[in-house]
Amino acid sequence: MKLLVTVKRVIDYNVQIRVKADGSGVEKDNVKMSMNPPDENAVEEALRIKEAGKADEIIILTIGNDKAQETIRTALAMGADRGIHIKTENDLEPLAISKIISKVAEEEKPSIILMGKQAIDDDCNQTGQMTSALLDWPQATFASKIEIEGQNAIVTREIDEGLERIKVSIPFVASCDLRLNEPRYASLPNIMKAKKKPIDTKDASSLGINIEPRIEQIKVEEPPVRQKGIMVSDVAELVQKLKHEAKVI
């Protein structure tokens, strides 16, 4: 069984986001970048499935500029087997990303596609669902537990009401929740081995699919600064301010 895991290079979650002066987007130059955190859970789950003897190969797929290969190398250092880099200088929308993943899946024929539940930069939470629809595969989103049972999988999902267990047939697409597992750290020997693992690079324009943007981004701006709170001396003063100033009661 072959596993395809998608990963994305994003601004590190510890970095304070800054908007460009011209409002065209967020500042990415000279900013620490890392693998999208839920994607790390997807890589870790693929490794655990392989270590359990239920998969033979783990392929890492990423889409982006040349620096995106650093994210593939991180996954390879964790233990994945090889990488595929779809090169583009543009920021693609979820539908375009899903089309590319589907195209790669048609060529590689994986049994399971694993990805993070959403990216922390745009929070779209659409790619897994769209990929499932394009491939006409079952989907298991927000997965917090995956159990492979023959040609099926039992997936526990995080939902508003609690936990939901579903049964999906293989092949399927799963988007991984942060509660799924604890991603491992890459050891120094594995980091050195990862440098020799193959990465197949293709230009996005060579795939023969339409990835033109459908949404025009007009402007990006900082959220309004939160006003300073007011200290009150007792409950009576609090009630008066809520009634006359905030007008909420």
Q: What is the pLDDT along the chain (249 residues), one digit of tens a residue?
A: 999 999 999 998 888 888 888 888 888 888 898 999 999 999 999 999 999 999 999 999 999 999 999 999 999 999 999 999 999 988 889 999 999 999 999 999 999 999 999 999 888 899 999 999 999 999 999 999 999 998 999 999 988 888 999 999 999 999 999 999 999 988 888 899 999 999 999 999 899 999 988 888 888 888 888 888 888 889 988 888 888 777 767
Q: 172 — phi, psi (to 5°)?
A: -150, 165
Q: 7 — phi, psi (to 5°)?
A: -130, 155
In Å, what is the CA distance from 111 to each residue of 2, 65, 83? 6, 27, 17
> For position 225, what pLDDT does the model report?
83
Domains of the chain and CATH, by start = 2-222 (3.40.50.620)
> For position 14, what pLDDT does the model report?
87
Q: 183 — phi, psi (to 5°)?
A: -60, 140
Q: Is the peptide bond before 171 cis (omega within 30 degrees of 0)?
A: yes
Report which secondary-structure segment, H or E, holds 4: strand 2-6
pTM, to two decimals:
0.84
> For position 231, what pLDDT does the model report?
85
> For position 136, what pLDDT does the model report?
96
> For position 144, what pLDDT does the model report?
94
